[in-house]
Amino acid sequence: MRIAIDTSKCQAYHRCTVVAPAVFGLNANSKAEVLDPHGADDATVLKAAKSCPYRAITVTDEGTNEQLWPRK
Ligand code: SF4
């Protein structure tokens, strides 16, 4: 899984960090950042991305390059 965060959309809602705390953290500017893209299984990473109310997290399958979230 490849994870990208649009920090301009992140409002420090903390949902991603609660669902997958080993994958997501908040930096000193209160913006989410990826700590370890492999810190949780794929389903948990997707769940965390979907939990973001601002759709700030994009998840892409590294193998197929398919964007899994948000759905296009
Ligand atoms: S859930 Fe979204 S808004 Fe909240 S910290 Fe994560 S990326 Fe930012």
Question: What averages of pLDDT result for each successive group of 10 residues across the chain (72 residues)?
Answer: 97 96 97 97 98 97 96 84
> What span, in angstroms and rounded, lies between the C-alpha atoms of 70 and 53?
11
The response to whether residue 11 sits with its C-beta less than 6 Å from ligand 1 reads yes
Task: Indicate if ligand 1 lies below 6 Å from the C-beta of 32.
Answer: yes
List the residue whose alpha carbon is closest to atom 8 of ligand 1: 10
pLDDT at position 42 is 96
- Number of helices (H), then strands (E), belonging to the chain: the values are 2, 5
The pLDDT value given to residue 72: 77
Residue spans of the domains in the chain: they are 2-69
Tell me the best of 5, 6, 8, 10 to mutate to test the pocket of ligand 1, counting ligand atoms within 8 Å of each CB and taking the most.
Answer: 10
Contact 48, 14 (CB under 8 A): no
* pTM exceeds 0.75, yes or no: yes
Q: Is residue 15 within 6 Å of ligand 1 at its C-beta?
A: yes
- Do residues 34 and 8 lie in contact, with contact meaning Cβ atoms separated by under 8 Å? no
Q: 2-69 has which fold?
A: Alpha-Beta Plaits (3.30.70)
